[in-house]
Chains A and B, each alone.
Chain A
Amino acid sequence: MIPLIYPLTIGAVLFAIGAVGVLVRRNAIVIFMCIELMLNAVNLTLIGISGHLQVVDGPIFVLFIMAVAAAEAAVGLAIIIALFRRKSTVDVTHFNILKG
């Protein structure tokens, strides 16, 4: 029905967009959103392939990815909040105390 190339290409492009976003944005929360974007791209790819191969592992894996993404969101945002308390900013250029 849906040719395999569709989900694969779209997933690839979305993944690349997300990667660019991670590297380009300075706002930590936006970076986080781009990461979610990347995860979604992966999900799409998985669904596509598993449909193509007619196995159930794809959707299962997608489920797990979603669960992990949720957990990651919770913790990641908590970290951002804690950092904000420290530095009053979410600009990642200011988080450089690991220097040296």
Chain B
Amino acid sequence: MDDLLFLIPLFPLIGVILNGLLSPKLWPKNEKLTGAIGSLTVLGSFVVGLLAFFELLGKEEGSRRMVDTLYTWIAVKPLEVKFSFVFDQLSAVMVLVVTGVAFLIHVYSIGYMHSDRGFRRFFTYMNLFVFAMLLLVLGDNFLVMFVGWEGVGLCSYLLIGYFYEKRSAADAGKKAFVVNRIGDFGFLLAIFLVFWHFGSLEFSAVAKNAHTVSAGAVTVITLLLFLGATGKSAQIPLYFWLPDAMEGPTPVSALIHAATMVTAGVYMIARTHFFYDLAPISQMIVTTVGCLTAFYAATIAFAQRDIKRILAYSTISQLGYMFVGVGIGAYAAGIFHLMTHAFFKALLFLAAGSVMHALRGELDIYKMGGLKKYMPVTFWTFLLATLAIAGIPPFSGFFSKDEILWKAFSTHLHGIPVWWNYIIYGLGLLTAGMTAFYMFRAVFVAFFGDSRMDPEVEAHVHESPKSMTVPLMILALLSVVGGLIGIPHVLGGGAHFEMWLHGLVAHGGEAAHHHPAALEIGLMVVSVAVALVGILLAFTFYRKKTEVPAHFVEKHPRLHRTVWNKYYVDEFNEWAVINPIKRASTNFLWGFVDVWIIDGAVNGLAWLAKACGRLFGKLQTGRVYGYATVILIGAAAVVGYLLLRG
């Protein structure tokens, strides 16, 4: 199996070639075939991943690692980089989650994107995206990972701007790519530093020697890596591309922005855990940023009306939780939440897509209502996902989120005071309640109550076809039971998930095993209670006393407006960053550097050539006698020179 790892990314690549390059000629209008190819390639990757996973299971702890080296990519002394894939416990989780969820989304898209003009283009880009993502998670060294990293950035640009004729979509794609790039800058600098200090870019080699470098250097590297992660995973300060990214088709949002690409940052930190374990300051920063982002995004979600925007901000918020997890050193917990989040967030997006599909593209939840009787399957799956995200046991979200909160509370970082832990925990808890609140707000407004739909639209509302509802149901099942493999010890479970990854990621920070079990259970109860309070509040405001929210908005119009406008962050960016850059480019870089210096140099060269030509042209007088004179003078000079030389 070692040598067959390359098949995992190869299958989607084949899909790209078939769908992208060959299908225009061979089967241009055959949607079924395009969709089948797109989906089956991903399924193929999943199957291979599954086989590899079973093989890993069979091995014993400590040697759970398979490497497949394709060829030596760069061999320029002293840099040597091989194009190779590694399949260990972490890769296994990522590959199975990515390919599994991607497969379901592909199947869903066959129905969702039916009769869209760019059907073929869609599946090509989707396969390309899966390919890049697999490169990212399977890469054995920083450079291969970076290739995948950039690749998913590119594909997100392509897919966000899928409806390229729409100006806002094209802009959103551009925005995503540019903001990602800023993060990639940090990532690149980190790669340079890694090579500078270690002379190699392979994870295993660097991990072995990580402790040989000064703590300061490690801190810088980890912070730069984190900068890359904030770009890709939409944390503060580089998050603002994600809400705009909802311009893309809903399956795209499901795949890229909920389940896979945005989690690349979390994966990256888990993969480079050997660095983070050595830099508690970075860990603190990562955790703090993650926590703040989670809280901040949740507040924005409160005021949104567009269902996809609500889900987008909740994604940012949940990603914040994941960063809290990996930041504090609880890599297993962060990845666990990544997995459960993939299930229920993808489900939420696909269900939203189902609603949009039925309502002819309506996104405003206040223009929906009472959908539960029209679209039962969509409703029930959406509800299950919402319960999961709210952290209600025994759904998957509860276990993963709770694990993170517990670890945040109990893991003390070297040199960081304990009260910081409590603040993080408190904020996380509050955000959990807020999450429950705004998600159930969406549920109550959209699916319950009286219909607020356009009569036109209401006439055609129907449940979505099987190709769309079946993936919903599968995802719902996963959202429900997916958490069971991570039931912690205190509740009698085997904590299989953590054990699985334990061999790979030794715990960072001082392990807090001396906390009594009762404390852990107590905190669990508290978080469930907070979630229930959130649900109750949502129920009160949006089912019973529905006039309260409207009152609130009236009494605090400025507050509402600020939150609704996302705290004017985009406007601030426009003013502080974009306009100055535009002005500088136009006036300085173009007006001065390009016109005067660059053009000047080129034109100057031409002028110089002409001037020289004119000058030397004067030699050609055409006068014979002049030539003769010069010849004879030359002869005399030569003889004279020879004489003088002796």
Contact = CB atoms under 8 A, between A and B. Distances in A.
Nearest to B629: A23
Nearest to A28: B624
Interface string B550-588: 000000000000000000000000000000000000000
Nearest to A98: B622
Contacts of A99: 620-623
Nearest to B619: A100
Contacts of A97: 622
Interface in A19-43: 19, 22-23, 26, 31
Contact of B624 (A19, A92, A100): A92
A22 B626 CA distance: 11
Contacts of B622: 95-100
Contacts of B632: 19, 22-23
A100 B617 contact: yes
Contacts of A95: 622, 624
Contacts of B628: 22-23, 31
A100 B620 contact: yes
B617, B621, B622, B625 — most chain A CB neighbours (10 Å): B625
Nearest to B624: A92
Contacts of B617: 100
A92 B629 CA distance: 13
B623 A96 contact: yes
A93 interface: yes
Contacts of A92: 624-625
A53 to B, nearest CB: 20
B635 to A, nearest CB: 8
Interface string B68-101: 0000000000000000000000000000000000
Interface string A60-100: 00000000000000000000000000000000110111111
A9 to B, nearest CB: 16
Interface residues of A, number: 13
Contacts of B623: 93, 96, 99
Contacts of B629: 23
Interface in B600-646: 617, 620-625, 628-629, 632
A23 B620 contact: no
Contacts of A100: 617, 620, 622
Contacts of B620: 98-100
Interface in B121-173: none
Contacts, number: 30
B602 to A, nearest CB: 27
Interface residues of B, number: 10
B617, B620, B632 — most chain A CB neighbours (10 Å): B632
B617, B621, B624, B629 — most chain A CB neighbours (10 Å): B624
A83 B629 CA distance: 21
A79 B591 CA distance: 60
B625 A23 contact: yes
Contacts of A31: 628
A30 B632 CA distance: 17
Nearest to A25: B625
Nearest to B620: A100
Nearest to B622: A99
A92 B627 CA distance: 11
B626 to A, nearest CB: 9
B617, B620, B622 — most chain A CB neighbours (10 Å): B622
Contacts of B621: 96, 99
B315 to A, nearest CB: 75
Contacts of A98: 620, 622
A26 B626 CA distance: 12
A23 B623 CA distance: 12
B439 to A, nearest CB: 86
A98 B629 CA distance: 16
A42 to B, nearest CB: 12
Contacts of A22: 628, 632
A100 B623 CA distance: 10
A93 B624 CA distance: 7
B622 to A, nearest CB: 3
Nearest to A22: B628
B338 to A, nearest CB: 79
Interface in B227-267: none
B605 to A, nearest CB: 23
Contacts of A96: 621-624
Nearest to A97: B622
Nearest to A99: B622
Nearest to B625: A92
A14 B621 CA distance: 29
A23 B617 CA distance: 23
A97 to B, nearest CB: 6
B236 to A, nearest CB: 71
A21 B629 CA distance: 11
A96 B623 CA distance: 5
Contacts of A23: 625, 628-629, 632
A29 to B, nearest CB: 14
Nearest to B632: A19
Nearest to A96: B622
A69 B261 CA distance: 91
A93 B621 CA distance: 11
A46 B490 CA distance: 120
Nearest to A35: B628
Interface string B206-228: 00000000000000000000000
Nearest to A19: B632
A22 B621 CA distance: 18
A95 B621 CA distance: 11
Contacts of A19: 632
A96 B628 CA distance: 13
A92 B628 CA distance: 11
B344 to A, nearest CB: 85
21 contacts: A19-B632, A22-B628, A26-B625, A31-B628, A92-B624, A93-B623, A93-B624, A93-B625, A95-B622, A95-B624, A96-B622, A96-B623, A97-B622, A98-B620, A98-B622, A99-B620, A99-B621, A99-B622, A100-B617, A100-B620, A100-B622
Given A98-B620, A99-B621, 9 more contacts: A23-B628, A23-B629, A31-B628, A92-B625, A95-B624, A96-B622, A98-B622, A99-B622, A100-B620
The 7 closest A-B pairs by CB, nearest first: A99-B622, A96-B622, A98-B622, A92-B624, A19-B632, A95-B624, A23-B629
